Amino acid sequence: MGGDAFTFKLFGLMFDWTNIISGLIVFAIVFFLLFGLSRKLQMKPKGGQNIIEWIIDFTNGIVRGQMPADEAPHYNFMIFVLFVFVFVSNQFGLLFNISWNGNEILRSPTADPIITMTMAMIVMTLTHFAGVAKNGFGGYLKSFCTPYTAMLPINLFEEFSNFLTLGLRLFGNIYAGELLLKLVAGMAFSHGIPTMIVSLPLEIVWQGFSIFIGSVQAYVFVTLTSVYISSKVSTEE
């Protein structure tokens, strides 16, 4: 198909090697990170247990801040996994960005719009399910007609724009960060030692900034997720 990318076809579906490899590694990292942190649990926490409990408290706090108290516990786990996954994905490309024969092998999965839109789709699907589960199908449909029926197109458009902005915001931030890192790296090797000296501090500064951006975007992603879920489950009847 075009031969422009590092792809393969299976069961009539297109797969991209970069996403598959990076994604698998990120999933493995997330799992083994959380698995390793939750070993040797004690009543009096120490070491890794403190870290995972801090992360859980942090994401629980995000959910609690957005939702009615009786709804929050249902989504704690989802938000927790989503946060850790997006966070690790964002940072992954800063550590490992490997190209071979002009094809990228490893980079942040979230630097690909397909992946961020997939995550956004998972989230938006979840919010709609949550809305139906809470208010029933009738209540769910009615929520599009609040405060009056004339608002219906605006509400529908809002759903769509929520989906787009949620995915594209994450993609844009991470992709821009990695792109600039690559450009600075390219500049470093373009004219020998002088450009290296100039590029090194630039690269360091931008890497630090990208770590910050990646953390903030992970936080924003899960915060917006809980806001969307909350707006669906706490519709006033």
Partner 1 sequence: MFAQSVLAESNSLYVGDMIFYIISFVILMLLVKKFAWKPVVKMMHDRAEKIANDIDSAEQSRNEASDLATKRQSELQNSRQEAATIIGNAKQSGEKQRSQIVASAQNDAQALKENAEQDAKQARQDALKSAQNDVANLSIEIASKIIHKELNADDQKALIDSYIEGLGKDES
Return residues touching partner 1 (CB under 8 A): 1-2, 4-7, 9-11, 13-16, 18-20, 23-24, 27, 30-31, 34-35, 37-38, 41-43, 45, 49, 52-53, 56, 77-78, 80-81, 84-85, 103-104, 109, 111-115, 117-119, 121-122, 175, 182
* Rounded least distance, CB 104 to partner 1, Å: 7
* Rounded least distance, CB 143 to partner 1, Å: 26
Contacts of 80 (CB under 8 A, 6+ apart): 55, 56, 59, 60
* Rounded least distance, CB 148 to partner 1, Å: 36
What is the C-alpha to C-alpha distance for residues 171 and 167, in angstroms, rounded to an integer? Answer: 6
Q: Which residue has the tokens 């458009």?
A: 157
Between 18 and 226, name the residue whose CB sits nearer to partner 1: 18
- Supply the DSSP symbol for 35: H
Between 77 and 137, name the residue whose CB sits nearer to partner 1: 77
Indicate the pairing of strand 7-10 with strand 13-16: antiparallel
Q: Which residue has the tokens 């942190």?
A: 37
* Rounded least distance, CB 4 to partner 1, Å: 5
* Rounded least distance, CB 11 to partner 1, Å: 8
Between 8 and 137, name the residue whose CB sits nearer to partner 1: 8
Question: Can you read off the two tokens belonging to residue 180?
Answer: 């600039």
What is the C-alpha to C-alpha distance for residues 76 and 201, in angstroms, rounded to an integer? Answer: 40
Between 175 and 206, name the residue whose CB sits nearer to partner 1: 175
- Supply the DSSP symbol for 216: H
